[in-house]
Amino acid sequence: MWGGVEFTAENTALLADREDGHPRSRTTIEKLPDKVLMHIFSYLPHREICRNARVCKKWRMIAYDSRLWKSVSLRPEISGLQVTSLENLLALLRQYIVRFGPSLQYIELPIELITHTVLHELANKCPNLTSMLMDFSTAMQLHDFNELQAFPAKLNSLCICLSGVIFMEGFMRKIYNFINGLEVLHLIGTYERVEEEEEEIYEVVNIHKLKSATPNLVVVNLYGINFLDDGHVEAFSSNCIQLECMSAPYCGKVTGSCLKTLLNRCKRLQCLILTQTSLKSEYVMNVEWDKTQLQELDITATDLSQECLIEILTKLKQLRYLSAGQQDSFNDKVLARFLEQGSPGKLVALDLDRCDNLSNEGLQALLGKYGSNLLGLILSGIPTITDQLLISVMPQLRNLRILGVGTAEGCCPKVHTKVLVDQLVEAIANNCHKLERVEIRWDGDTLRHSDKSQKAIDHLRTKALRLKSLVLSEGKYFENVKANFERADRPTVVRSNTLCSVSNCYLLSHYKHLLFN
């Protein structure tokens, strides 16, 4: 698949060759240089590469070039290779290791393949393996690891998807001696699979022993772990003095009592992500924020008090990334104190999603003075913000790469005024040429557009050439915009907000390290 065209033996695209002056003379894709075909293949998932290997000998040779197999996923449910049986899966892995082992840098293993035999093969035949994901999330029982004597020892990054019911200490004890070089650690909990009925919570991995085996960690991501509490977060601070990023989103037992110790010990800590945790204002206010090196902070949906927010924003002098959405206490007084005593001029990313106690006047004061510094701005879910405010500040937002505005249906009080989307899009197109991602959340009933909408859409498409994602509510306007971009051969840009959402996370300094599949 390249540019929307699938290359198969039955349907090979013909390219016109007019160099000899004969318009009718044609050449097949077979005449393309190998490096061009290699580049095309590099955009395909491995399952498609395997299918294309059947077309001809040349395609087979290119499909099995080791440069296309530096990273591989064997989890079919997460877009990995699909294998019909466990025996075939094991055979495929052995064949893969023999053929591509020396070039393999990243691999994703499902629970079926996390055995001592497979891990021995990876350790002995994949000398350049630096990143691994092991998915235990669906496990009801672990394999026997008594004979596990080897494990990939050059790992820089390790991601472990935890099971909610399987204790992993027996396995972890076998690998502790091999993972002391880790710099990036992901522990992914079962937050997204929790059922409404309360179930018993098990501490399935021993965090205190794990931190002792990983003294060189720079990035730690503890995502959605239901047993994780402040003691576990603090444990990393006692042994990982090089820590630069601590992320513990969706960990409901984290209250913030660990923050003072964490920030005192980890002097290099620049990024702290605590989305939807149970932070208590009194613990957060105990932190000496002005003595930290913190530059990036995410406290979305943590319900902190007005005094606590003021304490944070006036003491953090290096703050460049702030995500403080869904904070009822984030009001004009907090914003005014931030403007007076904080360092708003250093912000490059600001997310105030659903902070509906902010007024247009307060936001206009902030954006009018410091908007030119912003690369990312999320002001969605605030019903008082309409197209008129946004149009008035758009000239100051000329450096934006990410923008999210509008009120989605049902998330907050209904917007009573109509939004003139044509004028808003025109203002965005005329001022924000660097935009890469935009989300306009107003629903079809709120958006007012005319028969001349195509002109504004054309301007956005032709001026914002870096635009990768334009997210809209489904409806007539969505269909018009999508058709416009499709006619210009950019079919993947326009997306529905039922499946996609825009955030500032791309601007985090450790964004690539925080990604997990």
**Residues near 34 by beta carbon (within 8 Å), at least 6 away in sequence:** 58, 62
Q: The CATH number of the domain where 498 resides is what?
A: 3.80.10
**Residues near 69 by beta carbon (within 8 Å), at least 6 away in sequence:** 46, 96, 99, 100, 103, 104
Q: What are the mean pLDDT values of the chain's consecutive 10-residue runs (517 residues total)?
A: 42 41 58 87 86 86 87 81 69 75 89 88 90 90 88 95 88 94 94 58 89 95 95 92 96 96 96 97 96 97 96 96 96 96 96 95 94 97 90 96 86 67 95 96 88 90 95 93 95 93 96 92
Q: Which domain holds residue 47?
A: 31-63
pTM of the model: 0.88
283: which 2 tokens? 């613990």
| C-alpha–C-alpha distance, residues 115 and 136, integer Å | 12
- Looking at residue 9, what is its pLDDT? 40
| C-alpha–C-alpha distance, residues 17 and 34, integer Å | 18
Within-domain flag for 506: yes
- Looking at residue 97, what is its pLDDT? 76
User: CA nearest 354: which of 292, 389, 302?
Assistant: 302
φ, ψ at 370 (rounded to 5°): -120, 5
Within-domain flag for 110: no
Question: How many domains are contained in the chain?
Answer: 2
Within-domain flag for 505: yes
Q: Is 26 helix (H, G, I), strand (E, B) or coil?
A: strand
Within-domain flag for 424: yes
Within-domain flag for 327: no
43: which 2 tokens? 């955009």
Within-domain flag for 478: yes
| C-alpha–C-alpha distance, residues 262 and 251, integer Å | 16
Within-domain flag for 373: yes
- Looking at residue 414, what is its pLDDT? 53
Torsion of CA 135, 138, 140, 143, to 10 degrees: -30
Q: Where are the beta strands (DSSP E) in 406-460?
A: 419-420, 437-440, 447-448
Within-domain flag for 109: no
| C-alpha–C-alpha distance, residues 430 and 270, integer Å | 35
